[in-house]
Chain A
Amino acid sequence: VNPQLIGGEMTAWSDLDATLGPGPVRGAVLEPLLATASGRILIAGPHDPALIDAAPAGDLTLLVRGIADADALAARYADRPDITVYCGGLDKLDATSAYDTIIALAGLARLSSAESAQPTWGEALQLLTAALRPGGRLLLSVENFFGVHRLVALPAETTDADWVVDSEYDPSRPAGLARVRAHLTGAGLDTSTTYAAYPQACTPTVLLREDVLADGELTGFLQATLAGAAADAPSTLTDPGRLAADAVRHGLAADLAPAWILLACLAPGTSGPALPEALICTDSGRITGIDGAPRGRTLEDLLIAAALRRDLPSLRDLLAAWQNDAAAGVAADQVIVTPDGGLIPLAMGGRPVEALHRFATAVLRRGLPHPWPAPTGSADLTLAVAAMAGLDLAAADIPAGQPGDFDATSVRELVVERDRLAAQVAAAAEKAAWYERMLTDRDTKLQHALGIIDLLSASGPARAGKALIGGVRAARRSARSAVRGLVNPRA
């Protein structure tokens, strides 16, 4: 009868409840991985029930540590006699169970309960591996504490889940992908497939095999994919999408992935089922493999490259090609320019002006030393970019408050925006001072001109009289200043 309490269970705890910690590992992109499981299967740790549904029926064991989660799973699978729900700590798991497949996509840290001493990462792996039969397969997720998601984050808030902190200071926890694999090898596990998981360890939407990430011809596709995946990710220090795209450019996207998902086989064994080289979930569906992936660079990359080279003719050509193409409404970072110059959109399009606006915003928020002289903001720069594309827009055409507008949630972008606005204010003040001087000069000239008009518009005798009076006044002024000069020669 489910759930079975195996010891160490936590009476008032839930990992499926995302308010207490990061919540269960989730995402449709993981479903194909679970579908390849076979034999006696253990799903250890908090997994979204939708993922559990994807595992083949037959002999399935679930291990969670909170009673609330165990109850929820037991209720959900009440009519699945093939499913066993265990509740308790990893250290209480029967080491003789000999599973054919163990799935731990929520990592190792959340397998142990508060009721027992927290094992180190290495000890937890030993405990888990002990439950694997020889030749059995382990599907494991390892969060990368030097991943893009961490590089853009402020120190994490402490949650109720942090009674012991899973950290990079654990010496048994391998830091870096190569060391993770070496550690598994040392534990008798042969890794057959490694995925870099983006944009978050707990909520991946993109899984890319290392060899895919190393393919230079796919740079544009990979950058677009990772930037797109990060679009909704929280950013605090800087835009994670930009950082991920830069990591691709530098061949570091595997090393800087927020998590790695490894498929390993306990020796002696076979390499296991073949897994696709890429799994990508977007708003418009799931992509498996990279056979259809376009080769080339992103339009945004090419536009920025031309802008930084100050190659304005190329910039105009690229912008015009984009805006005259069916991809006109697709954001530049989601358009691939193939080697023969074709444009391939990777996302749904909106209004072209929105896509232009998004590009202009990206240019400004990144603080790029762009070529455009003194744009007052992203709407203004949109006009310039549109004009270069041959479009004659008016300020009223620029959407306000559109996606891609400056939201200023991250520190780097805030500093960039602050500096830009400060420079703008300083320039405006200096210009105002210049206008002031000009105005004074024009006033003087105007007075002079009005005096002449006044003189010329009077009738004959009056004109003579005014000229005479003017002459007398001038003479008096001269006399006064001469006298002053005599009285006070230094004045």
Chain B
Amino acid sequence: MSRSSNLAYPRRSTHQDYPPPVHHANHYYGHSHVLARYCGLDEQRPPRIHGYLQHGWNIGDGLAADHEFVTGTPVLLWSERTRRRAWSLGRRETYVVGAPWAYLLRMEPDLGVVEQREGTIWYPFHGWEGQQVVGDHDRLIAQIQLTEPGPVTICLYWQEYQSRRLRLRYERAGFRIVCHGYRGDWWENLDPRFLHRQLVEQRRHRRVASNRLSSAIFYGALAGCETAVYGDPMLLERENMAFGGQARIRRDWPELHGEQVDPAIAREAAVAELGADRLLPPAELRWVLRWPAPASDRLLAGAAR
């Protein structure tokens, strides 16, 4: 089986003897690959990022709740709001770089663009390798069928996609099932094309929807989809409510919840939350990530001297 296969890999578990090192999340979803390309570097082999790159939208300090910090290591966040919050939570050396998604969209204005967008791509709230989601998928399916006007594509997280039972349940409802890929783990099974696949899917759909406000909704809004957040938000095993959980998300972004959401408002929120209005020039991003100049630049600089 090829290493680039996205979905068939079981989770590795050979490194439980000490707390997880801190940088592997930088490569999730091919984020570092996207940024390497933006910086003019080899996108197949992104250099080490000397910092912690936010890898998903959240309402805490931008990083995972179990994230370990090494003092003095920059915390690279998507939005100014998150950065302010992270600072208030004691994080220093914070910097807003924006979401890799926003960089990808800037580099790929045409990827996956279709003449006529159609249907809805629906992201059921997913767990991750460490926490499962508990909820009634049948009820959610019924609600999606009632709400969505066109064909529905269900995008499952790789873990849920592996569950044949769950897949069948959505398939029987007449939905198309996709999975954008494996997000990567411990520098292994990395998937540099994850976001590309997601972009192609989102650009062919008119709507993006989920039962929770999440990265995928903001991504969709930035990629030109109408957005919707409705349905049972379900529960995550041992869900961390430290930052206010779903209740707070509904309080702070009420305008993004509902079956119909004003696309202009959704886009504005996405621009802010993904930092799309404050992307860094490549040279600045390289400085922040502590990445080298592209080889051609180095040659030119050497020639100039």
- The interface of chain A, by Cβ under 8 A from chain B, is 310, 312-313, 316, 371-374, 383-384, 386-388, 390-392, 394, 396-397, 423-424, 426-428, 430-431, 434, 437-438, 441, 445
Distance, CA A424 to CA B70, complexed state (A): 12
- Looking at the complex, which one of A310, A390, A428, A437 makes contact with B281 (CB distance below 8 Å)? A390
A374 and B22 contact, Cβ closer than 8 Å, known pairs A384-B284, A426-B71: no
- On chain A, the residues within 8 Å of B94 by CB distance are 373
Add 12 more A-B contacts to A310-B84, A423-B72 (CB < 8 A). A312-B96, A313-B277, A373-B75, A373-B76, A386-B283, A388-B284, A390-B281, A392-B297, A394-B298, A426-B71, A427-B72, A428-B72
Main secondary structure of the interface of A (DSSP, over half): helix
Among the stretches B13-21, B59-67, B160-168, the one at the interface with A is B13-21
B287 near A: Cβ within 8 Å?
yes
Contact A387 B293 (CB under 8 A): no
- On chain B, the residues within 8 Å of A424 by CB distance are 72
CB distance from B75 to the nearest CB of A (A): 7
Contact B80 A437 (CB under 8 A): no
A394, A396, A424 — most chain B CB neighbours (10 Å): A394
- Looking at the complex, which one of A384, A423, A434 makes contact with B21 (CB distance below 8 Å)? A434
Contact B286 A426 (CB under 8 A): no
Distance, CA A384 to CA B289, complexed state (A): 11
Contact A387 B286 (CB under 8 A): yes
B18, B70, B72, B93 — most chain A CB neighbours (10 Å): B72
* CB neighbors of A among B238-297 (8 A): 277-278, 280-284, 286-288, 293, 297
Contact B96 A394 (CB under 8 A): no
- On chain B, the residues within 8 Å of A372 by CB distance are 95
Distance, CA A373 to CA B71, complexed state (A): 12
Contact B293 A394 (CB under 8 A): yes
A434 and B22 contact, Cβ closer than 8 Å, known pairs A310-B96, A387-B286, A390-B281: yes
A390 and B283 contact, Cβ closer than 8 Å, known pairs A373-B94, A437-B21, A441-B18: yes
- The interface of chain B, by Cβ under 8 A from chain A, is 14-15, 17-18, 21-22, 51, 70-76, 80, 83-84, 93-96, 277-278, 280-284, 286-288, 293, 297-298, 301, 305
A373 and B74 contact, Cβ closer than 8 Å, known pairs A384-B284, A384-B287: yes
- Looking at the complex, which one of A387, A391, A423, A427 makes contact with B73 (CB distance below 8 Å)? A427
Distance, CA A312 to CA B94, complexed state (A): 12
- On chain B, the residues within 8 Å of A312 by CB distance are 96, 278
Contact A373 B70 (CB under 8 A): no
A386 and chain B: residue at smallest CB distance: B283
- On chain A, the residues within 8 Å of B298 by CB distance are 394
- On chain A, the residues within 8 Å of B293 by CB distance are 392, 394
B96 and chain A: residue at smallest CB distance: A312
A384, A387, A431 — most chain B CB neighbours (10 Å): A387
Distance, CA A441 to CA B126, complexed state (A): 30
Contact A313 B278 (CB under 8 A): yes
Contact B80 A310 (CB under 8 A): yes
Distance, CA A388 to CA B96, complexed state (A): 13
CB distance from A440 to the nearest CB of B (A): 8
- Looking at the complex, which one of A388, A394, A430, A437 makes contact with B72 (CB distance below 8 Å)? A430
Distance, CA A338 to CA B173, complexed state (A): 65
Distance, CA A431 to CA B69, complexed state (A): 10
- On chain B, the residues within 8 Å of A392 by CB distance are 282-283, 293, 297
Contact A310 B277 (CB under 8 A): no
Contact A441 B21 (CB under 8 A): yes
Distance, CA A387 to CA B288, complexed state (A): 10
- On chain A, the residues within 8 Å of B17 by CB distance are 441
- On chain B, the residues within 8 Å of A388 by CB distance are 281, 284
B50 and chain A: residue at smallest CB distance: A374
CB distance from A435 to the nearest CB of B (A): 9
- Looking at the complex, which one of A390, A396, A423, A431 makes contact with B305 (CB distance below 8 Å)? A396
A383 and chain B: residue at smallest CB distance: B287
- Looking at the complex, which one of A427, A428, A431, A441 makes contact with B15 (CB distance below 8 Å)? A441
Identify the 10 closest CB pairs spanning chains A and B, nearest first: A427-B72, A373-B74, A387-B283, A387-B284, A373-B93, A392-B283, A373-B95, A430-B71, A374-B93, A434-B70
Distance, CA A386 to CA B293, complexed state (A): 14
- On chain A, the residues within 8 Å of B14 by CB distance are 445
Contact A431 B21 (CB under 8 A): no
- On chain B, the residues within 8 Å of A386 by CB distance are 283
Distance, CA A428 to CA B72, complexed state (A): 8
CB distance from A64 to the nearest CB of B (A): 59
- On chain B, the residues within 8 Å of A383 by CB distance are 287
- On chain B, the residues within 8 Å of A397 by CB distance are 301
- On chain A, the residues within 8 Å of B18 by CB distance are 437, 441
A310 and B283 contact, Cβ closer than 8 Å, known pairs A373-B94, A430-B71: no
- On chain A, the residues within 8 Å of B301 by CB distance are 394, 396-397
A-B contact pairs, 29 of them (CB 8 A): A312-B96, A372-B95, A373-B74, A373-B76, A373-B94, A373-B95, A374-B93, A386-B283, A387-B280, A387-B283, A388-B284, A390-B281, A390-B283, A391-B283, A392-B282, A394-B293, A397-B301, A423-B72, A427-B72, A427-B73, A428-B72, A430-B70, A431-B72, A431-B73, A434-B70, A437-B18, A437-B21, A438-B21, A441-B21
